Amino acid sequence: MDTMLNDSDEIENTVPPFKPASTLESWSSFEDHFTKYKKKYNLKFRVRSSVKTALHNSTHQDQMPTEFEWTQKIYRCTHGVSQKSRSKGHRNRQTRYKKCKARLTAVVKKVAVNEYELTIQNQHHTHSHRTSSTQAASYLTPKTLPLDDQDREDVKTLADARVSSTTNFLNDRIGCKVTPQQTRNLIRSIMGQDSGEDRLKDMLHALRQLEGSDVQVIQDQMDMTCGIVMQTKVQKMMFERWGETLAMDFTHNTNNLGYHLGSLVVTTATGRGFPVVDFISLDEQATTISTILEYFKEKNSRWQDVKTVVIDKDFTEWRVLQTAFPKATILLCQFHAITYWKKVMKRSVYRLNVSQQEVLLKLMVKLLYSSTKTAYEARHLVLKRYCLENKRQAIFAYFEKNWDPCRGMWSNFARGKHFTAGNTTTNRIESNWKQLKLLLGLKTRIDKTIAGLLQHQIMITHQIISEIEKLHASSRMPKTIPRFLREVAGRLSAKVLMTVKKEWECFVNVMPSAVAARSEDSCSTWKVYCYNQKFLCHDSDGTCNCLFYKSNHLPCRHLMHVADKGLGFDALPMNAIHNRWSSFAALAIRDDLVAAADKLRSVVRLSKLKLPKERLLDDNDEVASTSHHKSPKQVAYVRLRRNERANHVVLSSGEKYSYAKAMLEPLLQHLSGLPSSEFYSELKAWKETVDMGLRKGGPRSTEAGTSDGIVEFQTRCEVDMLEDFDPMDAMEAADLMQAMEVANSEDFARSDNGSDDEDTTPTQLATAEEHPGGVEPEAEGKTSGQDGEHLRDGLTTDVSPPPSERQVDIINVPKPKGRGKARATTK
């Protein structure tokens, strides 16, 4: 420190002394004059010591009037008061201490009978430092910055911007130099005044006021919010337009409270996924998911039109979806099927070497990409023979028990007969999670998570609309589009057109030897014979019974052959494009989508601004001050009750921490407000109580650990499925799928492509001995949480929720764990 003070010792900066122009009859009058003096000469003083009037009167005979709270205050220049550094590192930091001797003492003095005033004594006005405006700016704190209410609201708006940008804004607004650290302190001070729970309530209440938006709050019997479901008008329009096939998945690490984020995603006309409902929940148990889906069905009358739902290898989701959508077919993500099969082969119980694993993986992939039942049975026989010859019957027995019974979920010959919009995997929803997490960051607050979901909706909606408008405002280069596809190319997005072009390449390379004949039964029906296979095509409605058309509803090579050879068209007609993929049909709802998405911006702003809790005005509202005021819409409310066999509800570690902290928080506040003399004695008493309680609960610690084993197992299992895999395995699985799709496309007509309509094993729930899609008992962490011995969930609706002006105020989210002391970084 001495080396840092060498230069300051040579400075002698004498400023005019503090001489008030009028008599100081009160401490408030003194503060007004002293503040003007400090601001005029860029000074900052600290109260070094003071004497209360009550203390003075109790120890002195000359009594002072109680109108003065203090009898004296000693002020020292801030550069003359040393303070121990709170830094834990070794980096040299600036220090204010410069051995400045400037000081003054304000004393209450009797000037006449019953007349007292403040006088200045012991004043020293020579400073050992510069007194410039730049130096004075460093004295400013979040409370002393010259900002009005509007300025602070603007800082809230810029809270997510770069600190340097916000600093430049403050410099221009208040006209003084503000450091980046002062800006950070200001943002932390302003944003810390509103809790994430309060902002969440404001946002959900405001979202409910928007036309077409619905919100449901799910709470347990301990009044803890365990789920929130949201659906906006944009999402309802997307589902009504493109909701034939869905993808469902959960993700984690999107907020600091441990809520799991889930969505149902549709595939739009541009080929991009869009979430049609968002929900957060503390768990992924069957009762919670079932409650969410029932609310979704209640608000969307076209839920019965859902044909397929693609999921990962989650037994709980499969069971609930089968009940919620009885007419839909539940399909397994093929990427998860391959990666999980690779994981199973590495188990020591099967004793497979590397070469055997590679062979079994290739056989499994061939089973997965079998396009006919005959091909599947032939490859199944090859797998059985290989396992028998190499004495690996154990892995084949596992396959027969867990995979073969549900082959309709993952093998192409069965799942290809259902419309999936090309979704063989959950890649679209995984891509949606990636973009959302990039927008949110890691471990964000719960209110910012909800705001991020709405902002993500706005962004995707405008991107989809922009791509549709671009198709009508411009045309593609002729050299990039085959002549045969030029008429339909203007109606298809770039991604969908790429899929049709691949099918056109197969038509050019594979179909020259095919024969098309008109059916005798109907003039619009054609029979296409290709490589000993027969396909039925209808030229009027543009349909075919091949797997490609059934799963994509896009013109296949057989329809192209009929149009070219059978009907003699030079180009594929426009009626071959289904309205689902037509950009012209999507253009009809463009204006409604944009208007509904833009209304969400006012709700997103609530995560930054402190606005009054009022209803958002609709466009058809005439004047806000009209005498007739509609009552605000309330969120839906449902209560889940956990019916336990034990005496107490089985809680997760996070729930236990939240409840314990809520109970002890009043005690902590009481202790923090005590004087130091009382604090240590009372803390010692509580320490003895805590020690006694820990000793009393010690012998039962082992039993507690075993009783909560299932909950701990659930917690370990409630992670993203891909986190259990080696990243290299995941990349190899993706490359293998891509290679097999290319090979399958080239071999589609020559080998085993067909339209056989043999009866396949229906998609049904397995028994306790049969676990589909590789989901075995040891991997069913979430299943045990729904109907195991220790935890059973029942659903009851609370018809009379707690009375409140806003029903959303019943939300009670768990509190995040404290981060503790920051780690000291040394260099």
Same domain, 98 and 182: no
Q: What is the pLDDT of residue 440?
A: 60
Q: Is 691 a residue whose pLDDT tops 90?
A: no
Name the band, by pLDDT with cuts 50, 70 and 90, for residue 698: low
Phi, psi of 497 (to 5 degrees): -60, -35
Same domain, 129 and 183: no
Q: Is 589 a residue whose pLDDT tops 70?
A: yes
For the chain, how big is the Rg over CA atoms in Å?
Answer: 36
Q: Is 382 a residue whose pLDDT tops 90?
A: yes
Domain assignment present for 344: yes
Q: Is 119 a residue whose pLDDT tops 90?
A: yes
Same domain, 486 and 372: no
Choice between 474 and 373, residue whose per-residue pLDDT is larger? 373
Task: Please give the full DSSP string across 67-94, using - where no structure is assigned.
Answer: TSSEEEEEEEEGGG--------S-----
Q: Which domain-ending residue is among 413, 435, 460?
A: 413
Mode of pairing for the β-strands spanning 308-311 and 245-251:
parallel
Task: Please give the full DSSP string across 575-632, using - where no structure is assigned.
Answer: GGS-TTT-HHHHGGGHHHHHHHHHHTHHHHGGGTS---S-PPPPTT---TT-S--PPP
Q: What is the pLDDT of residue 302?
A: 92
Same domain, 497 and 560: yes
Same domain, 17 and 98: yes
- Quick check: helix, strand or coil at residue 103? strand
Percentage, residues of the chain above pLDDT 70 = 74
Mean pLDDT for 376-397 is 94
Query: How many angstroms separate the CA atoms of 813 and 198, rounded?
Result: 10
Name the band, by pLDDT with cuts 50, 70 and 90, for residue 431: low
Output the average pLDDT for the chain.
Answer: 78
Same domain, 44 and 99: yes
Q: Is 615 a residue whose pLDDT tops 50?
A: no
Query: How many angstroms separate the CA atoms of 812 and 32, rounded?
Result: 45
Q: What confidence tens digit (pLDDT) does each residue in 53-102 have?
A: 999 999 998 899 999 999 999 999 988 888 776 666 665 666 778 889 99
Q: What is the pLDDT of residue 427?
A: 63
Highest mean pLDDT of the ranges 408-417, 686-695, 805-814 = 408-417
Range with the poorest average pLDDT among 295-304, 470-479, 603-612, 766-775: 766-775
Tell me how many domains the chain contains: 4
Q: What is the pLDDT of residue 747?
A: 56
Domain assignment present for 29: yes
Domain of 122 in residue numbering reads as 2-84+91-137
Same domain, 341 and 409: yes
Mean pLDDT for 214-227 is 85
Highest mean pLDDT of the ranges 150-164, 522-536, 715-729 = 522-536
Domain assignment present for 375: yes
Name the band, by pLDDT with cuts 50, 70 and 90, for residue 640: confident
- Quick check: helix, strand or coil at residue 27? helix
Q: Is 4 a residue whose pLDDT tops 60?
A: no
Q: Which of 325, 310, 334, 307 is nearest to 419 (CA)?
A: 307
Domain assignment present for 551: yes
Q: Which of 324, 310, 343 is nearest to 430 (CA)?
A: 310
Residue identified by tokens 């943002």 is 187
Range with the poorest average pLDDT among 196-205, 350-359, 670-679: 670-679
Name the band, by pLDDT with cuts 50, 70 and 90, for residue 557: very high
How far is CA 724 from each of CA 335, 360, 404, 459, 483, rounded to the nearest angstrom?
A: 14, 20, 24, 32, 48
For the beta carbon of residue 425, count every other beta carbon within 10 angstroms.
22
Can you give the pTM of this predicted structure? 0.66
* Residues in the chain, overall count: 827
Same domain, 49 and 169: no
Task: Please give the full DSSP string across 239-296, using - where no structure is assigned.
Answer: HHHHTTEEEEEEE--SSTT--EEEEEEEE-TTS-EEEEEEEEES---HHHHHHHHHHH
Q: What confidence tens digit (pLDDT) does each residue in 246-272 have?
A: 999 888 777 778 888 899 999 999 988
- Maximum separation of any 2 CA atoms in the chain, in Å: 126
Query: How many angstroms separate the CA atoms of 329 and 319, rounded?
Result: 12
Percentage, residues of the chain above pLDDT 90 = 34
Mean pLDDT for 402-426 is 87
Q: What is the pLDDT of residue 156?
A: 76
Query: How many angstroms separate the CA atoms of 234 and 266, rounded?
Result: 13
Name the band, by pLDDT with cuts 50, 70 and 90, for residue 717: very low
Domain assignment present for 69: yes
Contact 576, 563 (CB under 8 A): yes
HEC sequence for 653-709: HHHHHHHHHHHHHHHHHHHHCCCHHHHHHHHHHHHHHHHHHHHHHCCCHHHHHHHCH
Mean pLDDT for 380-400 is 93
Choice between 692 and 488, residue whose per-residue pLDDT is larger? 488
Mean pLDDT for 703-711 is 37
Query: How many angstroms separate the CA atoms of 713 and 351, rounded?
Result: 26
User: How many C-alpha atoms does 66 have within 13 Å on its Cβ side?
Assistant: 3
Same domain, 118 and 178: no
Enumerate residues 6+ apart whose C-beta is below 8 A from 437.
251, 253, 254
Q: Is 435 a residue whose pLDDT tops 70?
A: no
Range with the poorest average pLDDT among 24-38, 175-189, 286-300, 548-562: 175-189
Q: What is the pLDDT of residue 277?
A: 95
Structure tokens at 441: 């960051």
Mean pLDDT for 435-454 is 74
For the beta carbon of residue 135, count every other beta carbon within 10 angstroms.
16
Q: What is the pLDDT of residue 394?
A: 93
Q: Which of 70, 42, 46 is nearest to 56 (CA)?
A: 70
Q: Is 728 a residue whose pLDDT tops 90?
A: no
Same domain, 126 and 158: no
Domain assignment present for 531: yes
Q: What is the pLDDT of residue 646?
A: 39
Q: What confidence tens digit (pLDDT) does each residue in 747-806 have?
A: 544 544 454 444 433 333 333 333 434 444 333 434 333 333 332 333 344 434 444 567
Same domain, 102 and 7: yes
Q: Which of 90, 92, 122, 127 is nearest to 107 (CA)?
A: 122
Mean pLDDT for 520-529 is 88
Cβ-count burial 350-377 (b if 16+ within 10 Å, e if not): bebeeebbeebbebbbbbbbbbbbebbe
Domain assignment present for 228: no
Choice between 582 and 254, residue whose per-residue pLDDT is larger? 582
Q: What confidence tens digit (pLDDT) does each residue in 149-187 have?
A: 888 888 877 776 788 888 888 888 887 778 888 888 888
Same domain, 392 and 511: no
Highest mean pLDDT of the ranges 41-50, 423-432, 767-776 = 41-50
Range with the poorest average pLDDT among 381-390, 418-427, 733-742: 733-742
Domain assignment present for 813: no
